[in-house]
Structure 1
Amino acid sequence: MSLIRLLPIALILAGCSQQAQDTVAREAARNAITPVIQDKFPGIPVEPAVNCVVDNANSTQIGALALDAVTGPTQSTVEIVTQIVSKPETLTCLTDEGLPALLR
């Protein structure tokens, strides 16, 4: 990964509070998660699924996914998203949030 590509993100985050940094990282992570959900889990409503993945990811996973948003999804992105989707709390979220979206 090129340091030149990461520099703008690092500069933006350096001037932000911890809460703002978390918000920026979560939004960036969404950009990496979305194509994985669309490709690996067809038929699942994308927005609720992405929300469930982001809400159930730990900070390390969010950081890795945010970086993947800069370079584009990789096999590592797929593995991280799959790990998060496999968590019981994510599956519960998908049932509670994704299933109703399918039925609308």
Structure 2
Amino acid sequence: MKLILIPALAALIGLSACGEDGLADQLARKEAKDTVRPVLAQRFPGVPLEPATDCVIDNASAGEIIKLARAGVTGLGPEETQLVIEIATRPETVECLLKDGLAPLLK
């Protein structure tokens, strides 16, 4: 099934320049989130996955989202795992995690 998605995802990613919040952007972000979740679960156990995933995606560049979306289709490799860790440890992402990701645990 994933093999069928590769050409479709490639075409949609090519259209992602058509505007943020467009269908292509939404699909790329969804596929990228599917790549990010398992890395966060393994590398940052105990962190609420959905808010943390949103923080990583929100602090990734368009090119990084595309790279992560491709990995969601073709398979996660060491390069993509390192990219998730890099994005997750950026100051802006950590700030987002403290504000949105961990706040519910602190209440």
CA RMSD of aligned residues (A): 2.1
- Structure 2 residue corresponding to 1:55, chosen from 53, 58, 61: 58
Contact map agreement 1:36 1:73 (CA 8 A) in 2? no
Contact map agreement 1:45 1:101 (CA 8 A) in 2? no
Which amino acid in structure 2 is aligned with residue 95 of structure 1? L
CA distance in 1, matches of 2:48, 2:66: 24
Specify the SS of the correspondent of 2:102. helix
CA distance in 1, matches of 2:26, 2:38: 20
- How do 1:82-97 residues align onto structure 2 when only pairs under 5 Å count? 82-97=85-100
Contact map agreement 2:55 2:93 (CA 8 A) in 1? yes
Percent sequence identity is 39
Structure 1 segments unaligned to the other structure (5+ residues):
none
Q: In the alignment, what sits opposite 1:21?
A: 24
Q: Could you state the TM-score of these two structures normalised by the residue count of structure 2?
A: 0.82
Q: Could you state the TM-score of these two structures normalised by the residue count of structure 1?
A: 0.85
Q: How many residues align?
A: 101
Deviations 1:68-101 (A, max 9, x none): 0012221112111111112111010000011113
Q: In the alignment, what sits opposite 2:74?
A: 71
Query: Relative to 1, partners in 2 of residues 1:15 and 1:60: Cα closer, same or farther, differing over 3 Å?
Result: closer
